[in-house]
Amino acid sequence: MIDLNDYTLEEWNSLLKLASDIRLNQRAYINRCEGRIMATLFYEPSTRTQMSFQAAMLRLGGQIIGFDNPVNSSVSKGETLMDTIRIVSGYSDVIVMRHPLEGSVKAASLYSRCPIVNAGDGGHLHPTQTLTDIFTLYNIKQRLGGMNIGVCGDLKYGRTVHSLIKAMTRFPGNRFYLISTPELAVPDYIKQIITSSGADCIEASSIESCIGDLDVLYMTRIQRERFATPEAYEKQKGVFVLDREKLKKAKSDLAILHPLPRVDEIEFAVDSDSRALYFKQAEFGMFARMALILKIIEDDLLEKKDDDSMPGGVHCMNARCITQQETYLPQLAHIDASGRKCCLYCDEELPPKPGIRV
Amino acid sequence: MIDLNDYTLEEWNSLLKLASDIRLNQRAYINRCEGRIMATLFYEPSTRTQMSFQAAMLRLGGQIIGFDNPVNSSVSKGETLMDTIRIVSGYSDVIVMRHPLEGSVKAASLYSRCPIVNAGDGGHLHPTQTLTDIFTLYNIKQRLGGMNIGVCGDLKYGRTVHSLIKAMTRFPGNRFYLISTPELAVPDYIKQIITSSGADCIEASSIESCIGDLDVLYMTRIQRERFATPEAYEKQKGVFVLDREKLKKAKSDLAILHPLPRVDEIEFAVDSDSRALYFKQAEFGMFARMALILKIIEDDLLEKKDDDSMPGGVHCMNARCITQQETYLPQLAHIDASGRKCCLYCDEELPPKPGIRV
Amino acid sequence: MIDLNDYTLEEWNSLLKLASDIRLNQRAYINRCEGRIMATLFYEPSTRTQMSFQAAMLRLGGQIIGFDNPVNSSVSKGETLMDTIRIVSGYSDVIVMRHPLEGSVKAASLYSRCPIVNAGDGGHLHPTQTLTDIFTLYNIKQRLGGMNIGVCGDLKYGRTVHSLIKAMTRFPGNRFYLISTPELAVPDYIKQIITSSGADCIEASSIESCIGDLDVLYMTRIQRERFATPEAYEKQKGVFVLDREKLKKAKSDLAILHPLPRVDEIEFAVDSDSRALYFKQAEFGMFARMALILKIIEDDLLEKKDDDSMPGGVHCMNARCITQQETYLPQLAHIDASGRKCCLYCDEELPPKPGIRV
């Protein structure tokens, strides 16, 4: 499971239904993964994600091995990712991997003898966060289409936001409100995904200006450093902070989500509002991960092979791509939806001819 | 479970009986917590305590998630304790928490959706150590009253000693021998607890002077730095070290306890004496924790709410209080046994009017 | 289980048969260690070994406590190994210990109330790696004697190589090819073990010169620093690297093994050769460890006591011996196969009279 978008809507539906059933009938699932082992290989610490996966596997009766920080471990000392994965996949039934480099989980999947789940590969993908978001909406709203969805914060670099938008464009009738500064607006390719799906896309410069229209408000943080100038920060910071005052204009069934951790973009006073669902969302995430693990282990929901993978012929030029570190990886490519030839690992466009790495 | 003294003697008895039964019939309990998850959130490392809790939960058939050192984890990076607890309590059935700041576990309990156990909050409380101590005596001595109890070492700062004294004053007929230097004598409020309970209290300046009277000798360390001068240390150090020579004067059924780790306050040669029970005590601790976890999970032995909590009106001035770090915490107070208005979190007396934090 | 050579061939056979059965009938063993706890005490990180042991115990239905790096833990802060072992052995049914000092696990076994398994004590022993190697050959070759066994790399300091040679000399008809530089040749005492067992021993200066004769090729790394000069390194490095070219001369059923991690002593292109069994070997290691754990827990396959241990009378002079750090350890000795009086812990020869520690 590298990318949620590799799956069909039927497969999503099946996952969401299973997650719902697990949530309502937990005791029926406590032995389903008995005797099975999940390896959690966290090449950068992410305690929250790791605990969510661990709780999910343990609640299915499975067990956990792994590490939470390779600095403290002997893994990655002079051993290739390829070798580590080959060894660990001999010990385990499923691997959950997080890594700071883009495309790393895809690369690992080439060598793994067991299914592998992407728990975040740098700024590239974090599909189980998106699965969490979708499952939360599916439960709260009883539908995934026909909604006005606001996304607020750093929309330029926000991996979870991009992923959520991509996912929600697969359902009819959604309208997207993109709430951000001009500097931190969504990349053009995301806007193209929205418009080519037929969905409406509205850019907004404040929460206040559109909150009354929203069914969903997905909050993320804008880091101070991301504003154009300190003056711009001082002037605008409040505009992207959700507080009780702004909530007065919102619908009574607005769903406020956040991938967490929250810093100061949602005032603490909002937490007691019944529309604040971000902690509930974290709990939904555990059930969504339980469903995913169970599907993978019981139904052989294997990673989708890129049948369209082809020789790349050139080095990927993305400095954050796993191919920069693991130089033995074969140069592979695929053609993306807009016809560009992209690195199979990190999905960045490949240069037309061999370039000089920077 | 923030403070052992929140419970009635009947509740203690019930816990101790259960712990005894678990110890004698371990195999009967190996599935009692099947499908349940304990989160061990250790904001400072304490491998021994953490392993004891983990072994306890695992021997009940439950499972563990958590972290052992937030420096290696992504928790506590810009996230409030409040948010972490809200998220983790959605994953788990019980939280065991250790934290360097006083009152931190009480603070966490305000936001937790599952029961929470105090595994040490700074120099404030460490109730499962006291439960361990009591359970050891209950098993070894078959009684908890009518004993001459010596406590030796740093009685001024020794959290475990204070807690043990408080606990043992609840049983009739105990006499306390306080063995220390004048500089490291027990605080006055502890002496008041002893005397107001009707128990005798004898101050001693050496182990030798009273060991013959004792039924229990609870050893702790005096750090070299805690003596008034290097000369005082050199002159006195041997006086607070237990060795075979001093043991010659002791009763044949003296119980020697120690919260561990031991440094040099008990000579290694004492270990083989049948009265040396400190390693046995560590094992008893595991059974005591098993009983506590089981009671919490099966019988909803929930944390006692402070029905007497009231607005504090002022900042707590204790520099080691959790309210200094987690500034969103409501200012809350309670009235202690001697009528003082104290911080609800750390139990330090509040200033009469708003003060300046130092 | 301190040293594999403490066991009889019958005991080895029984272990190997059990491991084979576990491998073929995994589901039959998933509850065999239910309610049991293994403590993994890793005083130096070794993620691969630790994960192998953890996977083994978990696949038997048992559970794990422990630490992976004492720097992050509170263990070893002022506490003796003796005390830590006494406490932890009260929590667990079996201890698996790795430590940077030689003889440390033997020392720990003197104080443990439960069986203890050596997962590597410095450069001294690593018996479960050898068990892994033997079990792999037993499965692949269906025999343990009558083979031409090449060992390549740093044969002077290579703990796993020494151990493998010792083990394989117990079976008739094996011939050893020692492939290394003169500076990194096997120590004389290992050669004596080979010759006194009646086995042939052939020294070779390259893989190429003997690969055609081999049934087994056990590769290890030679570190660049271990060559006599940088020139020697540049000249010779390729000679001890296995590549597809050299493999052309090898038998079709050659078994290529490696204790892993591999650095560059086996070219990646070899991995796809069916004779490359080193990743399979890691998986066999898990089954071998499962058998060992099960034998220890179910059949009381306890550590063999040195009935021949005797007072040492002198300090061990080995700077890497555990007695240098844990100074309370009794001075003990045993007489080795060649009649030398050796330290009971690290097996180094003791000085004839008290020496000065360096």
ipTM over 0.90: yes
Give the pLDDT mean for C202-220.
Answer: 97
Residue A353: per-residue pLDDT = 80
Question: Looking at residue B77, what is its pLDDT?
Answer: 61
Chain-chain contact of B65 with A59 (C-beta, under 8 angstroms): no
Q: Please, which pLDDT band fits residue A176 given cuts at 50, 70 and 90? A: very high
Asked if the Cβ–Cβ distance from B260 to C87 is below 8 Å, we say yes
What residues of C are in the A interface, CB distance below 8 Å?
A: 26-27, 30, 45-48, 51-52, 54-55, 58-59, 61, 68-69, 71-72, 260-263, 268, 279-280, 282-283, 286
Distance, C-alpha C152 to centroid of its chain: 16
Fold of A127-281: Rossmann fold (3.40.50)
At residue A237 the predicted structure's pLDDT band, cuts being 50, 70 and 90, is confident
- Nearest by CB: C67 against B47, B55, B280: B47
Of C39, C83, C328, the CB nearest to B261: C83
> Judging by beta carbons within 10 Å of its beta carbon (0-12, 13-18, 19+), is residue C186 exposed, middle or buried?
buried
- Picking from A91, B241, B283, B240, the residue whose alpha carbon sits closest to that of residue C260 is A91
* Interchain proximity A88–C51, CB inside 8 Å: yes
Q: Is C204 helix (H, G, I), strand (E, B) or coil?
A: strand
Chain A residues within an 8 Å CB radius of C286: 90-91
The percent of residues above 90 in pLDDT, for chain A, comes to 77
Which among B35, B63, B87 has CB closest to A282?
A: B87
Average pLDDT rounded to a whole number, residues A230-253: 90
Contact C74 B30 (CB under 8 A): no
How large a percentage of chain B has pLDDT more than 90?
A: 77
DSSP C27-42: GGGTTTTTT-EEEEEE
Which chain C residue lies closest to A89 (C-alpha atoms)?
A: C283
Query: CB B48 to CB C75 under 8 A?
Result: yes
Q: What's the confidence (pLDDT) of residue A358?
A: 45
Chain A residues lying within 8 Å of C268, measured CB to CB? 82, 328
The set of residues, in sequence order, having a beta carbon less than 8 Å from that of B245 and lying 6+ positions away, is none
Q: Mean of the pLDDT values across residues B251-278?
A: 96
B48 vs C74, C78, C82: nearest CB: C74
Asked if B78 and A263 come within 8 Å (Cβ–Cβ), the reply is yes
Mutation for A interface: B60, B71, B74, B110, most A CBs within 10 A:
B74
What is chain B's alpha carbon radius of gyration, rounded to the nearest angstrom?
Answer: 21
Q: Which residue of A has its CA nearest to C285?
A: A91
User: Considering only CA atoms, which of C141, C118, C152, C127 is closest in space to residue C285?
Assistant: C127
Q: Do A92 and C55 touch (CB under 8 A)?
A: yes
Is the pLDDT assigned to residue A107 strictly greater than 80? yes
* Cα–Cα distance, B119 to B32 (Å, whole number): 22
* Cβ within 8 Å, pair B39-A51: yes
Minimal C-alpha gap between B306 and chain C (Å) = 33
DSSP H or E stretch at residue A257: strand A255-257
Q: Do A90 and C268 touch (CB under 8 A)?
A: no
| Separation between Cα atoms, residue B230 and residue A279, nearest integer Å | 54
Q: Tell if the CB–CB gap between B74 and A263 is shorter than 8 Å.
A: no
Average pLDDT over residues A235-248: 91
The per-residue pLDDT for range B2-39, each reduced to its tens digit, is 888 888 999 999 999 999 999 999 999 999 999 999 99
Mean pLDDT over C289-315 rounds to: 83
pLDDT at B2: 83
Both tokens assigned to A59: 């609640």
Give me A162's structure tokens.
Answer: 């991009």
pLDDT exceeds cutoff 70 at A354:
yes
C-chain residue closest to B59, CA distance: C35
Q: Where are the beta strands (DSSP E) in A79-215?
A: 94-99, 116-121, 148-152, 175-179, 200-204
Closest residue of chain A to C28, computed from CA coordinates: A35
d(CA C164, CA C195): 15
Sheet holding A341-343, edge to edge: A310-311, A332-335, A341-343
Residues in chain C whose Cβ is within 8 Å of chain B: 34-35, 37, 39, 63-67, 72-75, 77-79, 82-83, 86-88, 90-92, 328
As a whole number, mean pLDDT of residues C175-184 equals: 94
A65·C48 Cβ contact <8 A: no
How open is the CA angle A41-A47-A49, to the nearest 5 degrees? 75
**DSSP H/E element including A38:** strand A37-42
Mutation target to probe the A interface, by most A beta carbons within 10 A, among C32, C51, C96 is: C51
C-beta of residue A239 within 8 angstroms of C-beta of residue A207: yes
Q: Give exposure, A226-239, as e/b (b: 16+ Cβ within 10 Å).
A: bbeeeeebeebeeb
Q: In this complex, do A73 and C45 lie within 8 Å of one another by their Cβ atoms?
A: yes
Task: Determine the straight-line distance between the first and last CA of chain C, rounded to whole angstroms.
Answer: 31
Query: Average pLDDT for residues A235-255, to the nearest whole number?
Result: 93
Judge contact between A106 and C106, C-beta under 8 A.
no
Looking at chain C, which residue has its C-alpha nearest residue B290? Answer: C91
Tell me if C90 and B283 make a contact (CB, 8 A cut-off): yes
Write the DSSP symbol of residue C272.
G
Q: Is the pLDDT of residue A300 over 60?
A: yes
Give dist(CA C252, CA B107) in Å, integer.
68
Q: What is the pLDDT of residues B280-293, one digit of tens each?
A: 999 999 999 999 99
A343 CB-side CA count, 13 A: 27
Nearest to C91 among B51, B69, B71 (CB): B51
Chain B residues within 8 Å of chain C (Cβ atoms): 26-27, 30, 45-48, 51-52, 54-55, 58-59, 61, 68-69, 71-72, 260-263, 268, 279-280, 282-283, 286
Higher pLDDT, B232 or A281: A281
pLDDT value of residue B358:
45
How far is residue A46's CA from residue A57's CA, in Å, rounded to a whole number? 17
| Segments of chain C assigned E as strands | 37-42, 63-67, 94-99, 116-121, 148-152, 175-179, 200-204, 216-219, 255-257, 310-311, 332-335, 341-343
Interface contact A90-C286, CB threshold 8 A: yes
Distance, in Å, from the CA atom of A239 to the CA atom of A232, rounded to the nearest integer, reads: 11
Contact B261 C77 (CB under 8 A): yes
Provide the pLDDT confidence category of residue A123 given band limits of 50, 70 and 90: confident
Using alpha carbons only, give the angle A269, A271, A274 rounded to the nearest 5 degrees.
115
Average per-residue pLDDT for chain C: 92
In the sheet that holds B116-121, the strands lie side by side as: B63-67, B37-42, B94-99, B116-121
| Per-residue pLDDT at C318 | 96
Domain formed by B31-122, architecture: 3-Layer(aba) Sandwich (3.40)
Structure tokens at B79: 């996230």
Token representation of residue B212: 């013959």
pLDDT band at residue A325 using 50, 70 and 90 as cut-offs: very high
- Where exactly does CATH 3.40.50.1370 map onto chain A? 31-122, 127-281
Q: How far is A324 from C323, CA to CA, in rounded Å?
A: 46
Distance CA B194, CA C206 (A): 80
- Written in H, E and C, the secondary structure of chain B is CCCHHHCCHHHHHHHHHHHHHHHHCHHHHCCCCCCCEEEEEECCCCHHHHHHHHHHHHHCCCEEEEECCHHHCCCCCCCCHHHHHHHHCCCCCEEEEEECCECHHHHHHCCCCCCEEEEEECCCCCHHHHHHHHHHHHHHHCCCCCCEEEEECCCCCCHHHHHHHHHHCCCCCCEEEEECCHHHCCCHHHHHHHHHCCCEEEEECCCCCCHHHCCEEEECCCCHHHCCCHHHHHHHHHHHCECHHHHCCCCCCCEEECCCCCCCCECHHHHHCCCECHHHHHHHHHHHHHHHHHHHHHCCCCCCCCCCCEECCCCCCCCCEHHHCCCCCCCEEEECCCCCEEECCCCCECCCCCCCCC
Put simply, the answer to whether B52 touches C91 (Cβ < 8 Å) is yes
CB contacts, 8 Å: C68 with chain A: 67, 72-73
User: Looking at chain B, which residue has its C-alpha nearest residue C112?
Assistant: B279
CA distance B59 to chain A (A): 15
Determine the pLDDT at residue A226: 76
Supply the pLDDT for residue B29: 96
Residue numbers in B near A262 (CB within 8 A): 79, 83
Token pair recorded at residue C116: 């203890």
Band (A89; pLDDT cuts 50, 70, 90): very high
Is the per-residue pLDDT at A13 higher than 70? yes
Residues of B with Cβ-Cβ distance to C328 under 8 angstroms = 268
Q: Is the pLDDT of residue A115 over 50?
A: yes
Residue A269, CA distances (Å) to A9, A217, A243, B332 in order: 37, 17, 7, 18
Token pair 């060991």 is found at: B211
The pLDDT tens digits of the residues spanning B170-197 come to: 999 999 999 999 889 999 989 999 999 9
Pairing of strands B341-343, B332-335: antiparallel
* Cβ neighbours of B79 in A, within 8 Å: 260-263
CA distance B7 to A328: 63
- Predicted local confidence at residue B74, as pLDDT: 61
Tell me if A72 and B74 make a contact (CB, 8 A cut-off): no
- pLDDT score of A78 more than 60: yes
Contact A101, A324 (CB under 8 A): yes
Among residues A8, A9, A94, the alpha carbon closest in space to that of A53 is found at A94
Query: What is the least distance, in Å, from the CA of C263 to any CA of chain B?
Result: 27
pLDDT of residue A151 exceeding 60, the answer is yes
Number of Cβ atoms within 10 Å of the Cβ of C206 = 15
pLDDT tens-digit profile of C127-168? 999 999 999 999 999 999 999 999 999 999 888 999 999 999
**Disruptive mutation site among B34, B37, B58, B73 for chain A (greatest number of A CBs within 10 Å):** B73
How close, in Å, is residue C193 to chain A by CA atoms?
Answer: 33
Over residues C325-351, the mean pLDDT reads 93
Query: Which residues of chain B lie closer than 8 angstroms to A45, CB-CB?
Result: 72-74
**Partners of residue B72 in chain C, C-beta under 8 Å:** 72
Contact call for residues C43 and C100 (beta carbons, < 8 A) = yes
pLDDT (average), residues A28-43: 96
Peptide bond into C261 cis (omega under 30): yes
Task: Give the residue on C whose Cα is nearest the Cα of A61.
Answer: C61
